[in-house]
Amino acid sequence: MPHNMLLTGAAGFIGSHLAQRMLDAGWRVTGLDSLNDYYDVALKEARRDLLLRAPGFRFVHAKVEEPGLLRDLMATEHPDVVVHLAAQAGVRYSIDNPRAYVEANLLGTFELLEAARATPPRHMLLASTSSVYGANTAMPYAEADKADMPMSFYAATKKANEAITHSYAHLYGLPMTMFRFFTVYGPWGRPDMALFKFTANILQGAPIDVYNMGDMRRDFTYVDDLVEGIVRLVDVIPGSRAAVEGDSLSPVAPWRVVNIGNGAPVQLLDFIRAIEAATGRRAILNMMPMQAGDVPATWADSTLLNRLTDYRPQTDIAEGVARFVAWYRDYHGI
């Protein structure tokens, strides 16, 4: 019998890469997505259509927070593994549209947990974010650090998910891993993220908005590296073996949180130079102040990921950006 994954957010950036990887490995994947219009729906449909070429892929067009929908789906599908990536993402959008985060991130995760309580999978893995480190200044960010000062409502809903999943893991013995992703980028990426916007504007000769006057650092993670980390963690079921050094494994539940980041922060201006090199064009910089809700730097401590999976993300920024730009030109025919 092939393995069977339920993947929410399957038409999303990360979800579509993960789905393809699992299908290539012979898994059956049920991918759920609302295809909402937070960004270009045609891009989400194009990702989904590629996945539909694989006979092992089934698409469900629905919202995660629809009452009882996930419960019924899991009762029919009996997935071995559930990966929950569907969410309202984005720090800036959460300032004007906080309700979208309550619905997708809080109610949606609650519906999934209730479904898992009725039909327990072998392992559930859910997306959190480096944004939960919020106002922390000690770098690199480690899972064992306190992370109680979210700077945006987006981060607050993800932090709440970490607490809520822990309670279900404890009460119902459901093994769960929460990922803290650090600025993921690559082909088929998100139009609301800097790499996409910068590339589009640089290719058009339009200026790009550079926040905090360029004094920003991000730990960028190439999407194939991130997917490799996720795939390896699928088999690292919390509670099935003893904690490793520096583990975030809960003492009372089969639950842990794991950073997936490169562990090598890049200055924003160096990032822009990499896009200039890949496009062969000069960027016009529009220097701007810091944006509300944003943080000046992120830096992942990837020791725990490495101890658990023997893996460390490795794609460097020049190579990853070049692959994105090649995809961008091909997709847009420019």
Ligand X SMILES: NC(=O)c1ccc[n+]([C@@H]2O[C@H](COP(=O)([O-])OP(=O)(O)OC[C@H]3O[C@@H](n4cnc5c(N)ncnc54)[C@H](O)[C@@H]3O)[C@@H](O)[C@H]2O)c1
Could you list the residues that contact ligand X (CB under 6 A)?
9, 11-15, 33-36, 44, 63-65, 85-89, 104, 108, 127, 129, 181, 183-184, 190
Report which residue's Cβ sits closest to ligand X: 12
| 102: Cβ contacts below 8 Å, ≥ 6 apart | 157
Nearer to ligand X, 51 or 184 (CB): 184
Active site residue 39: no
Least distance from C-beta 229 to ligand X, angstroms? Answer: 13
Catalytic residue among 133, 154, 168, 222: 154
Nearer to ligand X, 44 or 217 (CB): 44
Nearer to ligand X, 27 or 93 (CB): 93
Nearer to ligand X, 43 or 249 (CB): 43
| 35: Cβ contacts below 8 Å, ≥ 6 apart | 11, 41, 44, 45, 48, 61
Least distance from C-beta 145 to ligand X, angstroms? Answer: 17
Q: Which of 268, 259, 242, 273 is nearest to 313 (CA)?
A: 259
Least distance from C-beta 240 to ligand X, angstroms? Answer: 25
| 319: Cβ contacts below 8 Å, ≥ 6 apart | 222
Least distance from C-beta 260 to ligand X, angstroms? Answer: 9
Nearer to ligand X, 31 or 254 (CB): 31
The two tokens of residue 261 are: 């980041």
Nearer to ligand X, 190 or 217 (CB): 190
Least distance from C-beta 330 to ligand X, angstroms? Answer: 19
- Contact (CB, 8 A) for 100 and 59: no
Please report, in angstroms and rounded to a whole number, the separation of the first and last CA atoms in the chain. 44
Q: How far apart are CA 200 and CA 20, in angstroms?
A: 26
The two tokens of residue 18 are: 């993960």
List the beta strands (DSSP E) in the chain: 4-8, 28-33, 57-61, 81-84, 123-129, 176-181, 184-185, 207-210, 217-218, 221-222, 255-260, 266-267, 284-287
Going by the DSSP 8-state scheme, the letter that residue 214 receives in this structure is: G
Least distance from C-beta 56 to ligand X, angstroms? Answer: 20
Q: Which of 9, 295, 13, 304 is nearest to 154 (CA)?
A: 295
Catalytic residues: 154
